Amino acid sequence: MKIYRVEGTIVSTNRIAMMDHKPLLLVVDKPGASPMVAVDPIGCKQGDWVLCCGSSAARDATGIKGYPSDLTIVGILDKWEG
Amino acid sequence: MEIHQVKGQIVLTSRLDDMGHLPLKVLKSVSGSTSVAMDPIGTKTGDWVFTIANSAARDAAGDKRLLTDLTVSGIIDNWADIQKPDVK
């Protein structure tokens, strides 16, 4: 699992049906790194430091078994100096 | 899920049956690396999309039998203003 920083939200109306209505957030490993898209089952806001889980565990972490995701936010860090 | 730009399409006349019939798009990631993904939603060249990798890619393509480790899962609507956020 890795620590990311939430940059903002992603809007994608034209996406595969299996993804239904889960919110997607833009997260960055370290400032300036290339951004990744993560599924957000918790409800984070911009600037939060979050913990993301990848590969097959990310699918069930979204709350829907077998959801098509390979990066999901599993928690918000209380304190992290970045 | 990584963010890529669709560069074009490839054609594989001789290929395995389990590859299915979805179009295969050539993608260029933000960091510049090139990869190929199955495209169940129909993107055109120049679209900014995000992809799903690993075991979820096969489900995302619609059928567990499909042989893919990367699938295009959505077109990003607001990519332009993510790149140049208008400072409020």
Q: What is the pLDDT along chain B (88 residues), one digit of tens a residue?
A: 999 999 999 998 998 888 899 999 999 998 889 999 999 999 999 999 999 999 899 999 988 899 999 999 999 998 887 777 665 5
Contact list, B54 vs chain A (CB under 8 Å): 54-56, 70
For chain A, the DSSP string reads -EEEEEEEEE--SSB-GGGTT--EEEEESSTTSPPEEEE-SS---TT-EEEEEETTHHHHHTSSTT-S-SEEEEEE-S----
Q: Is A27 among the domain residues?
A: yes
State how far residue B51 is from chain A, nearest Cα, in angstroms: 9
Indicate the number of domains in chain B.
1
**Tally of domains in chain A:** 1
Q: Could you tell me the residue range of the domain that residue B73 belongs to? A: 2-12+20-81
Residues of chain A with pLDDT under 50: none
Residue B2 is classified by DSSP as: B
Torsion sign (Cα): B15, B68, A37, A63: positive
CATH of residue A20's domain is 2.40.50.220
Assigned domain for B53 exists: yes
Question: What residues make up the domain containing A28?
Answer: 2-76
A52-64 pLDDT tens trace: 999 889 999 999 9
Structure confidence at residue B35 (pLDDT): 94
Is residue A36 in a domain? yes
Q: Say how many CB pairs under 8 Å bridge A and B.
A: 85
Query: What pLDDT does residue A16 have?
Result: 93
Q: Which pLDDT does position A20 carry in this prediction?
A: 86
Phi and psi for B58 in degrees, rounded to 5?
Answer: -70, -40
**pTM across the whole model:** 0.86
Cβ–Cβ below 8 Å for A37 and B2:
yes
Decide if A36 and B29 are in contact by the 8 Å CB cutoff.
no
Residue B68 belongs to domain with CATH number: 2.40.50.220
pLDDT of B78 reads 86
Q: Closest CB to B60: pick one of A16, A26, A54.
A: A16
